[in-house]
């Protein structure tokens, strides 16, 4: 039976979905369409093909900063978390796919390459389309999937199909850049054009042949980075210097466009499965369930005489009165109000935050760490208050701070505290003090989450004031 290897590219930052999506916790890790996150849904998307192929555990390519999020979300959704490849730096999708193909080359399965942050509503239609492309990929062709357009979108690239190969497959004549409105209308009317999905099928060795032929510079750099990489817990880390030496390029530009000029080598399978790249808030409104007047509501929302809005609440009541076509998104530290026609401009907000040196484009108030999470409660001159949640059996690194002291108060659970040469337990309502310059560690030896209130005081309270001496997660001496 054909071996099918899901390859999930998880490198996006999702800045157009701010404030839900932040660079440290982008949209692929969010539950936007159903209870699963987009990453979890992508990992499960090929389950319907088990009658057509042997499905291998998903292979994820992600950046260093997201590695523990990927591992945790895969585990919590029942997927093996032992196939996570780390990009030391972002180099676009062609080097990322080359890294995955090198890892899979021994078995030479058919790779189904999928972005981690897309949504597909009709899984049966998706399975039928992939099943139609599998025999062609096994025969050495490169197959992509063209989304059947339901409107003349100007925000997508298009694929022009050619002659019919069989009932469900066509030759791929050309990739077309994002068109203007009039051109997009002509594309849709012709029936010959599809949106470019960014989903591909090809054998692992076939991709390696093609990247070597069309972009030998990428091939050489990524091969060296893979060969010089090393295993680290659940992850395989490519060599940073070698990977950084690779030129940045996309799958389309590096291989697909030049290959499409060779007759019959690239094929396209039409895909009509409720696909969305959820590239902006208006796109999420399109794929969300809506009430009788077109409101897509999430959380504690009240809408009066309002229609066709996206209203999203995480912490407080969102009340809308007499409005239409608005996007209102509330989080613990930000509120977005935008017109749907300007949804693409939300990215400008994150650019403004970056220019101001503010952290709201990077982090939520709740920041995830491999041992759990922390959340800012209050901050002022020379003090900061956080709530720490430590998973059962987890521990923070053995560390020291140059500029701050800490007070820990146990809210629930049991804490094991190391403070220089002392090791002791704290239970609910007990506390301890960690002086500046003291080696210390916090651990949860219990079977329930440990909740701690941490009060920091000192001249500098930044997260980079950490010197690590030991860390079970093999993190760098500074925070990551």
Query: Given a cut of 70, is residue 479 above it in pLDDT?
Result: no
Last residue within a domain, chosen from 214, 242, 276: 276
Domain that holds residue 406: 366-470
User: Same domain for 59 and 184?
Assistant: yes
What pLDDT sits at residue 263?
86
Over residues 341-357, the mean pLDDT reads 94
> Which residues lie below 8 Å from residue 86, measured CB to CB, with a gap of 6+?
62, 63, 64, 67, 232, 235, 236, 237, 238
Answer whether 92's CB lies under 8 Å from 212's CB: no
- If DSSP codes are grouped into helix, strand and coil, which group holds residue 348? helix
pLDDT level of residue 170 (50, 70, 90 thresholds): very high
Over residues 120-142, the mean pLDDT reads 97
Bond from prior residue into 19 cis (ω within 30 degrees of 0): yes
User: Same domain for 301 and 381?
Assistant: no
CA distance 181 to 283: 18
User: Same domain for 294 and 432?
Assistant: no
Last residue within a domain, chosen from 249, 276, 303: 276
User: Same domain for 377 and 271?
Assistant: no
User: Same domain for 384 and 267?
Assistant: no
CATH number, domain of 216, equals 3.90.550.10
pTM above 0.75, yes or no: yes
Q: How many domains does the chain have?
A: 3
Q: Which helix (H) or strand (E) holds 195?
A: strand 193-203
304 vs 11, higher pLDDT: 304
Residue matched to tokens 């019959």 = 264
CA distance 273 to 104: 28
Of 89-93, 152-156, 338-342, 372-376, minimum mean pLDDT range? 152-156
Judge whether 301 lies within some domain.
yes
pLDDT single digits (tens) 36-67: 999 999 999 999 999 999 999 999 999 988 99
DSSP string, 388-420: EEE-TT-BPPEEE-SSEEEEEEEEES-EEEEET
185 vs 232, higher pLDDT: 185
Helix axis angle, 204-214 to 93-104, nearest 10°: 130
pLDDT single digits (tens) 362-409: 999 999 999 999 999 999 999 999 999 999 999 999 999 999 999 999
The single-letter DSSP state of residue 431 is E
User: Same domain for 42 and 95?
Assistant: yes
User: Same domain for 436 and 373?
Assistant: yes
pLDDT level of residue 1 (50, 70, 90 thresholds): confident
User: Same domain for 250 and 308?
Assistant: no
pLDDT level of residue 115 (50, 70, 90 thresholds): very high
What pLDDT sits at residue 232?
86
User: Same domain for 176 and 298?
Assistant: no
Query: Given a cut of 90, is residue 100 above it in pLDDT?
Result: yes
Strands 84-87 and 59-63: parallel
Judge whether 416 lies within some domain.
yes
Pull the structure tokens for residue 393.
């059996």
User: Same domain for 231 and 298?
Assistant: no
Phi, psi of 327 (to 5 degrees): -115, 120
């Amino acid at each position: 039976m054909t071996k099918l290897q899901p390859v999930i590219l998880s490198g996006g930052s999702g800045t157009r979905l701010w404030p839900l999506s932040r660079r440290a916790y982008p949209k692929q890790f969010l539950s936007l369409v159903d209870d699963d996150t987009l990453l979890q849904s992508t990992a499960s998307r090929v389950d319907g093909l088990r009658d057509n192929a042997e499905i291998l555990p998903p292979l994820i390519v992600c950046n260093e900063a997201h590695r523990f999020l990927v591992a945790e979300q895969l585990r919590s959704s029942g997927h093996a978390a032992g196939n996570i490849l780390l990009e030391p730096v972002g180099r676009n999708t062609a080097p990322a796919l080359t890294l995955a193909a090198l890892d899979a080359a021994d078995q030479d399965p058919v790779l189904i390459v999928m972005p981690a942050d897309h949504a597909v509503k009709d899984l049966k239609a998706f399975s039928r389309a992939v099943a139609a492309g599998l025999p062609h990929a096994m025969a050495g062709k490169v197959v992509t999937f063209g989304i059947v357009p339901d409107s003349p979108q100007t925000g997508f690239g298009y694929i022009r199909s050619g002659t019919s190969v069989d009932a469900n497959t066509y030759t791929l004549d050309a990739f077309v850049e994002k068109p203007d409105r009039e051109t997009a209308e002509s594309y849709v009317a012709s029936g010959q054009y599809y949106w470019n999905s960014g989903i591909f099928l090809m054998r692992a060795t076939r991709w390696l042949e093609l990247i070597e032929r069309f972009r030998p510079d990428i091939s050489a750099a990524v091969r060296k980075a893979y060969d010089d990489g090393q295993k680290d817990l659940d992850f395989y880390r490519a060599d940073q210097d070698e990977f950084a030496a690779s030129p940045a390029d996309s799958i389309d530009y590096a291989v697909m466009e030049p290959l499409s000029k060779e007759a019959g080598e690239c094929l396209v399978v039409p895909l009509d499965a409720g696909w969305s790249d959820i590239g902006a808030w208006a796109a999420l409104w399109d794929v969300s369930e809506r009430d009788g007047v077109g409101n897509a509501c999430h959380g504690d929302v009240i809408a009066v005489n309002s229609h066709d809005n996206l209203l999203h609440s995480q912490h407080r009541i969102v009340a809308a009165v007499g409005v239409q076509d608005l996007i209102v998104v509330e989080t613990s530290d930000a509120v977005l109000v935008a017109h749907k026609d300007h949804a693409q401009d939300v990215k400008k907000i994150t650019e403004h935050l970056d220019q101001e040196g503010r952290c709201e484009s990077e982090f939520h108030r709740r920041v995830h760490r491999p041992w759990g999470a922390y959340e800012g409660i209050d901050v002022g001159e020379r003090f900061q208050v956080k709530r720490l949640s430590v998973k059962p059996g987890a521990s923070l690194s053995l560390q020291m701070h140059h500029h701050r002291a800490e007070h820990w108060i146990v809210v629930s659970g049991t804490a094991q505290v190391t403070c220089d040469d002392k090791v002791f337990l704290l239970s609910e309502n007990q506390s301890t003090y960690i002086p500046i310059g003291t080696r210390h560690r916090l651990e949860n030896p219990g079977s329930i989450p440990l909740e701690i209130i941490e009060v920091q005081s000192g001249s500098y309270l930044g997260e980079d004031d950490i010197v690590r001496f030991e860390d079970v997660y093999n993190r760098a001496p500074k925070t990551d």
